[in-house]
Amino acid sequence: MYIGRQEWQQLQAGTSVRPVPAAPTSLASLYRRLQAGTPDAPTRAEAEAFLRGEIDALAAAPHDLPDSPDGLLGWMEANTQSVHERYAAYLQERRAGAPRRFFTNRAHALYVLRSIAPTKLVDGAWLYGLVQHWRNPRLADLVRTYVEELGEGALDKNHVVLYRALLARHALDPLDDLDDDLYRQGLIQLALGWNAESFLPEVAGFNLAYEQLPLHLLITAYELNELGLDPYYFTLHVTVDNPDSGHARRACQAVLDLVPRLDDGGEFWRRVQNGARLADAGLGTTAVIQGFDIDQEVLRILRHKARAGSGAHSDYCRVAGRNVNEWLSEPQQLPDFLQALQQAGWIRRGEPAENSRFWKLLQGERAEMFGVFSSYELQVVHDWLRGDASADGQPYTECAPPEGARRRPTFRAALRNGMVGTGAAGDATGLMDPDLDVFTAKYSQATDDEQRHALCVEAMSPAAHWTPAGLEATRRFWQSMTG
87 falls within a domain: yes
Digit-coded pLDDT (tens) for 110-149: 999 999 999 999 999 999 999 999 999 999 999 999 999 9
Q: Are residues 320 and 259 in the same domain?
A: no
Contact 23, 48 (CB under 8 A): no
The larger pLDDT score, comparing residue 177 to residue 383, is at 383
Residue 189 placed within a domain: yes
- End-of-domain residue from the set 358, 390, 416: 416
The residue length of the chain stands at 483
In a domain, 230, yes or no: yes
Residue 131: how many CA atoms within 13 Å on its side-chain side? 31
Cα–Cα–Cα angle for 426, 432, 438, rounded to 5 degrees = 110
Kindly tell me the burial class for residue 10, based on how many C-beta atoms sit within 10 Å of its own C-beta (0-12, 13-18, 19 or more): middle
What are the pLDDT digits (tens) for 445-480?
Answer: 999 999 999 999 999 999 999 999 999 999 999 998
User: How many domains does the chain contain in total?
Assistant: 3
- Quote the CA–CA distance of 335 and 74 in Å, as a whole number: 54
Does the residue 245 lie in any domain?
yes
* Residue where a domain terminates, one of 271, 290, 309: 290
**14 found inside a domain:** yes
* Residue-range definition of the domain harbouring residue 337: 294-416
CA neighbor of 193 nearest in space, from 142, 235, 159: 142
Same-domain check for residues 244 and 381: no
Tell me which of 290, 311, 326 is where a domain ends: 290
474 and 368 in one domain? no
DSSP 12-58: HHT---S---PPPS-HHHHHHHHHHSS--HHHHHHHHHHHHHHHHHT
Residue 295 pLDDT class (50, 70, 90 cuts): very high
> Residues 228, 304: one domain?
no
Is residue 305 pLDDT above 90, yes or no?
A: no
Together in a domain, 230 and 370: no
> What local confidence, expressed as pLDDT, does residue 316 receive?
54
The answer to whether residue 427 sits within a structural domain is no
Identity of residue 202: E
Domain assignment of residue 426, yes or no: no
Q: Are residues 128 and 209 in the same domain?
A: yes
Q: What is the pLDDT of residue 8?
A: 40
> Quick one: pLDDT at residue 481?
86
243 and 230 within one domain? yes
Report pLDDT digits (tens) over 36-74: 999 999 999 999 999 999 999 999 999 899 999 999 999
Same domain, 243 and 255: yes
**Angle (nearest 5°) at CA 22 between 20 and 23:** 110
Q: Is the peptide bond before 39 cis (omega within 30 degrees of 0)?
A: no
Cβ proximity of 328 and 335 under 8 Å: no
In this structure, the answer to whether residues 322 and 184 fall within a common structural domain is no
Per-residue confidence band for 35, with pLDDT thresholds at 50, 70 and 90: very high
Residue 279 lies in a domain: yes
Domain check: are 267 and 347 in the same one? no
Same domain, residue pair 28 and 69? yes
Which amino acid makes up residue 276? A
* From 252-261, 275-284, 307-316, the region with the lowest mean pLDDT: 307-316
Query: Same structural domain for residues 169 and 208?
Result: yes
